[in-house]
Amino acid sequence: MDWGMKNRLSKIIRPETGRTVMLAVDHGYFLGPTTGLEEPGKTVEPLLQYADTLMLTRGVLRSCMDASKNVPIVLRVSGGTSILGNLADEGTTVSMRDALRLNVSGVAMSIFVGSELERKSLLALADLINEAEEFGVPVLAVTAVGKEMARDARYLGLACRIAAELGAHVVKTYYCEEFEKVVKNCPVPIVIAGGKKIPEREAIELSYNAVRRGAVGVDMGRNIFQSEHPVAMIRTVREIVHKDLAPDKAWDLFNTLAREKGKAFA
Ligand code: R5P
């Protein structure tokens, strides 16, 4: 692996722990003004210092983020579809040249394994990786799950392995039963998405279980920025990911941090 690739990867996955807390705020690329991200700059501002990496789109990066903040960026470079259409029909939306101009540490693209557009989506990932390799830019492959797909170890294991075989440097997927099998069968680091907002206690357990079973961290969005206490949540997730804080202690920490803001959870 060349120096530039290694250097960029070290900005995504922290060398000190081999783990990462990625803050995902790219949802608008197909969901539009997602709850909590109506004004992305305001949402992200208090959370940034606790994120190892920020995942977002070119438009939000340019229009809402302070370029002087030194947070590594993983840029979503796929899109072109919306929640109203066929999501699997995504294409590449940002050139590598522009991604480099934005000084990103990595680029991200979804794949739709098992969809009728599987081939198109996988070859788009391969094309992106071919280009990214030329410039030493890591590629994060996101295993998108269609409504008809099961979020189980068999399906997610298949999707993660294919992404890795095509050359993705990091894979983002969902947590599932027998998650360790997904990790074992994927030769590159895996981060988990949080998915739809769930109670904080459950999101804490999800994060803990994922890293205990081999994920290198989270690429989490809604369970942080849609929490009533987003700063407490990201700080707690950070302790879980980087220090293996167990769920009971993490829940106590979350409540302590939330209480500092004036409202405790039961
Ligand atoms: C979806 O494909 C987007 O890439 C999100 O970044 C991803 O789902 C992670 O966000 P959340 O934790 O809200 O699921």
Q: Which of 6, 69, 147, 172 is catalytic?
A: 172
Residue 51's closest CA among 244, 243, 241, 238? 238
Neighbouring residues of 45: CB distance < 8 A, sequence distance ≥ 6: none
Band (pLDDT 50/70/90 cuts) for residue 80 is: very high
pTM of the model: 0.95
User: How many structural domains does the chain have?
Assistant: 1
Distance CA 205, CA 246 (A): 8
CATH label of the domain that carries residue 162: 3.20.20.70
What confidence score (pLDDT) does residue 145 get? Answer: 87
What confidence score (pLDDT) does residue 262 get? Answer: 62
Residue list, ligand 1 pocket, CB within 6 Å: 24, 26-27, 55, 110, 142, 144, 193-195, 219-223
Residue 111's closest CA among 87, 131, 134, 95? 87
- 261 in active site: no
Ligand 1 atom 10: residue of nearest CA = 221
Q: What is the pLDDT of residues 121-177, one digit of tens each?
A: 999 999 999 999 999 999 999 999 877 778 899 999 999 999 999 999 999 999 999
Quick one: average pLDDT of 66-94?
94
What confidence score (pLDDT) does residue 99 get? Answer: 98
Strands 106-111 and 170-173: unpaired
What confidence score (pLDDT) does residue 263 get? Answer: 52
The domain of 78 spans: 3-264
Residue 265 has pLDDT above 70, yes or no: no
With pLDDT > 90 as the criterion, what percentage of the chain qualifies? Answer: 94
Band (pLDDT 50/70/90 cuts) for residue 43 is: very high
Ligand 1 atom closest to Cα of residue 25: 6
Quick one: average pLDDT of 65-78?
95
Residue 178's closest CA among 197, 201, 156, 200? 156
Pocket test residue of 21, 26, 90, 223 for ligand 1, highest count of atoms within 8 A of CB: 26
Ligand 1 atom closest to Cα of residue 26: 6
